[in-house]
Amino acid sequence: GFVVSCPKSDCMAWFDAQARYLGSSPQSEVCPVARDGARLWAGGGHGVAERTSRSSDQAVPALDTVTGLMFDNHWRLMG
């Protein structure tokens, strides 16, 4: 499947491989998203979250505050 960031709605929209809407998960001003296997990294506002599903109770904050950084919609995982 795939995920679409919706920064004006403060959420991410999740879809399956057939493009059927599965629901959304909240994140403030979310814009960049990147997949790493089963994990999804999402940035928004001044934070980064790691998710393993669209369920907000499974969101794991990776970085609570990123000082002096503004996110755009372009991310690339490296490592």
Residues 1-31 have pLDDT tens digits of 888 999 899 988 999 999 999 999 888 888 8
The yes or no reply on domain 2-63 and CATH 2.40.160 is no
In whole angstroms, give the CA distance from residue 78 to residue 10: 26
- Assess contact for 15 and 25: CB atoms under 8 A: no
Instruction: Please state the rounded mean pLDDT for residues 30-38.
Output: 83
Q: Which residues contact 35 (CB under 8 A, 6 or more apart)?
A: 3, 41, 77
Burial per residue of 36-54, b for 16 or more beta-carbon CB atoms within 10 angstroms, e otherwise:
eeeebbbbbebbbbebeeb
